[in-house]
Amino acid sequence: MCGFTGIVQLAAHESPDVSRLLRMTRTLEHRGPDDEGHVVLGPMGLGFRRLSIIDLAGGHQPIEHGELPVAVVGNGEIYNFRELREGLQARGARFSCGSDIETILHLYLEKGERLVEDLIGMFAFAIIDLREAGAPKLVLGRDRLGIKPLYWAQTDQDLVFGSEIKALLAGGHLPRELRPTSLADYLVQGYVTGEDAAFAGVQRLLPGHTLTWTPTQGVRTRRYWDLPVDALRDEAEDAEVLEWVDRVVRDRLVSEVPLGAFLSGGIDSNAVVDSMARTQGKAPIVCTVGFQEKTHDEVDFAKITAQRLQATHHIETLDPDPQLAVDVLPWFYDEPLADTSTVPTYLVSKMARQHMTVVLSGDGGDETFAGYRRYVHDWAENRLRSRLGRPGQALFRALGAVYPKLDWAPQFLRGKSFLTNVGSDPALAFWHSVSSMTRAQVWEVLSGDVRKQLGAYDPFDRFEEIYRRPNIDCPLYRAQYGDFHTNLPDKILHKVDRASMAVSLEVRVPLLDHRFVGRFVNLPAAEKVRGARGKHRLREALRSRLDERILDGRKKGFDTPIGAWLRGPLRGTITDAVENLPEEWFDRPVLRQRLREHLGGGRDYSQFLWSLIVLDRWRLRHEVSGLSLS
């Protein structure tokens, strides 16, 4: 696990400024505290920071070919590199070290940008190629699910790229301006998604894509992988599910440094830890965090599996410190992210780093097997919607329009969202379930100038295009497909990558192996949701392995008490944010009114106010100068 950056000078006779390249590279020291390297080939340069995991002595990067003017840097792990290496050597390739990333270099010489199709793992990489005189080439690649990040930007002078946006900004040629559309996306969803990053001019290389640049053709991107879009699969047998779980876990156990796992009370992490014990033939090392708030504490459930496996179990009870979100995390999160679990995710990563350098996590099981409660609700709403027909849906829609919004009331009295969703199009209904605010609510708090600049822009439009992409008449699968292209890479995986890399910890996610996901994500809906629970097929397959209390218990989540924070230790911080956020962005009297209503107990604006704190601290930490007008 590492970080890299690079520069391509668009004037072919110029070489990158090495001091600038090193300045960009050193913003990524937290991703790679063990080593630093750089290389310049003609108008192109690469910089690298290393966290040593494989080939500790010889895996220095960038890796140059030796005989040809070609070099590579990579972040992540290639789990099938040994098999690929054997095949390459049989075809005449000569390796200089034992690093998995050198495999990418030799595959490139054989297959060009299509090399990514052979890789199994989590990765982002950059290759610079000067074999053709006067025709330099850059190739970037990102793994299929977006586990590892990669950003790029092109100016009049150069093309820059890197593992984090801060590396690009350190180059000095990019404006530190926020896109208005990104502001709208952030307030609606709580994160920034899609090709456009939060900073104007910066692009996100999408998961499952490559980018190729040459002087004659400029930038070209290509999608090389996607989830199934044509049909649902047959049912899966329990034995097949378990075989795949063991296979993807086994692939991720290669390490020359201490390796363990996160263990919560949830099914996914317990499945991974149980499989580690089976495939390693020994008790694993696991880390669990507990919370003072017992409603969120899962230590007792985690102990069930740890004790059964006789695992070395490190437990720490945490009291999440809200000041982390104000003082520490804004540096590591280059884009505003209003997920309240960023704080506990950072804390569990910091705790785990005291005992190991690599951990396996259970991320991905909920997306693949429809484990989130929102999937169950969406499935139930769609069943009701199909029974009602158009006249019934119209009635529910009308009732939703007149039903009062009772944020302050007990859950059973909050019927507005349910009535509105059942009367809505399935895409819009699911969108409401994954959004923090509606477009109308966001437009109420934005300044008139921003609303004018945004015009008819609607963050829902991009999600709807993704939702409707599969040619599969199954709203549950469409919802999962939408999450895999938005929420998973740009919120969940973004959060885990930045929190773990902040403490130089590598997190591997076996349940997001693309082969595993591709086999099970498009199972029939009945294989995922039964009754009022999701994740049916995985849950049933694991009955021969896990305790029933884990399989049938209710996951408590990785939450934080933001309501109490806003009325307590963050009261001054939210007041400052409301007064300091630029009037160019927001209608300040409306922000003040929202804050008064929340502090007075009349309305619950916790999530919105938290998003303002995160936005303000991000703005200050990264010296954002204003909104982009282009």
| CA–CA distance, 332 with 621 (Å, rounded to integer) | 10
In the predicted model, what is the mean pLDDT of residues 115-129?
Answer: 97
Burial status of residue 498 (CB atoms within 10 A of its CB: 0-12, 13-18, 19 or more): buried
**Between 423 and 555, where is the model more confident?**
555
The CB-based long-range contact list for 297-303 (8 Å cut-off, 24+ gap) reads 297/556, 298/264, 298/265, 298/266, 298/555, 298/556, 299/265, 300/265, 301/264, 301/265, 301/549, 301/550, 301/553, 302/263, 302/264, 302/265, 302/270
Token pair listed for 467: 């939702």
| CA–CA distance, 514 with 524 (Å, rounded to integer) | 19
In the predicted model, what is the mean pLDDT of residues 311-323?
Answer: 87
| CA–CA distance, 414 with 168 (Å, rounded to integer) | 45
DSSP-derived secondary structure letter, 137: E
Predicted confidence (pLDDT) at residue 13 exceeds the cutoff of 90: no
pLDDT, residue 410, reads 42
Query: Residue 9 to residues 408, 531, 579: CA-CA distances in angstroms?
Result: 57, 58, 42
Residue range 357-379, pLDDT digits in tens: 999 999 999 999 999 999 998 88
| CA–CA distance, 253 with 360 (Å, rounded to integer) | 9
Residue range 131-156, pLDDT digits in tens: 987 789 999 999 999 999 999 999 99
- Count the helices and strands in the chain (H runs, E runs): 28, 19
DSSP 385-446: HHHHHHHHHHHHHHHHHHS---TTS-GGG--HHHHHHHTS-HHHHHHHHH-SS-HHHHHHHB
pLDDT, residue 219, reads 97
User: In the chain, which segments carry CATH 3.40.50.620?
Assistant: 238-370+487-552
DSSP-derived secondary structure letter, 489: I
Q: Is 163 helix (H, G, I), strand (E, B) or coil?
A: coil
| CA–CA distance, 548 with 542 (Å, rounded to integer) | 9
Token pair listed for 302: 């985690």
For tokens 């991905």, the residue is 364
In the predicted model, what is the mean pLDDT of residues 516-538?
Answer: 95
| CA–CA distance, 559 with 320 (Å, rounded to integer) | 10
Residue range 182-203, pLDDT digits in tens: 999 999 999 999 999 999 999 9
CATH topology of domain 2-223: Glutamine Phosphoribosylpyrophosphate, subunit 1, domain 1 (3.60.20)
**Between 13 and 628, where is the model more confident?**
628
Query: Residue 558 to residues 348, 460, 497: CA-CA distances in angstroms?
Result: 10, 27, 16
Question: What's the chain's average pLDDT?
Answer: 90
In the predicted model, what is the mean pLDDT of residues 51-79?
Answer: 85
Contact 341, 558 (CB under 8 A): yes
Q: 140, 135, 134, 133: which is closest to 154 by C-alpha?
A: 140
pLDDT, residue 421, reads 63
For tokens 């009291």, the residue is 319
| CA–CA distance, 253 with 194 (Å, rounded to integer) | 32
Q: 552, 626, 559, 566: which is closest to 600 by C-alpha?
A: 566
pLDDT, residue 107, reads 97
pLDDT, residue 227, reads 97
Most distant CA atoms of the chain, gap in Å: 73
Measure the CA dihedral 553/372/488/146, to 10°. 60
Query: Residue 168 to residues 171, 200, 308, 540: CA-CA distances in angstroms?
Result: 5, 12, 48, 47
In the predicted model, what is the mean pLDDT of residues 328-349?
Answer: 93
In the predicted model, what is the mean pLDDT of residues 581-607?
Answer: 94
pLDDT, residue 412, reads 37
Residue 442 CA, distance from chain mean position: 24
| CA–CA distance, 334 with 421 (Å, rounded to integer) | 34
Share of the chain above pLDDT 90, in %: 74
| CA–CA distance, 484 with 193 (Å, rounded to integer) | 12
User: In the chain, which segments carry CATH 3.60.20.10?
Assistant: 2-223
| Cβ atoms within 10 Å, residue 626 | 14
- The vertex-210 CA angle with 206 and 213, nearest 5°, equals 115
C-alpha count within 13 angstroms, C-beta hemisphere, residue 195: 10
**Between 96 and 354, where is the model more confident?**
354
Predicted confidence (pLDDT) at residue 204 exceeds the cutoff of 60: yes
Q: E strands of 163-258, at which residues? A: 177-178, 202-204, 209-214, 218-223
Residue range 405-436, pLDDT digits in tens: 545 444 433 455 665 666 568 899 899 999 99
Confirm or reject CATH 3.40.50.620 for domain 238-370+487-552, answering yes or no.
yes
pLDDT, residue 602, reads 83
Catalytic residues: 2
| CA–CA distance, 106 with 100 (Å, rounded to integer) | 11
Strand 121-129 and strand 70-78: the pairing is antiparallel
Token pair listed for 146: 């977006």
Token pair listed for 387: 């029974």
Predicted confidence (pLDDT) at residue 621 exceeds the cutoff of 50: yes
- β-bridge partners, 125: 74, 141
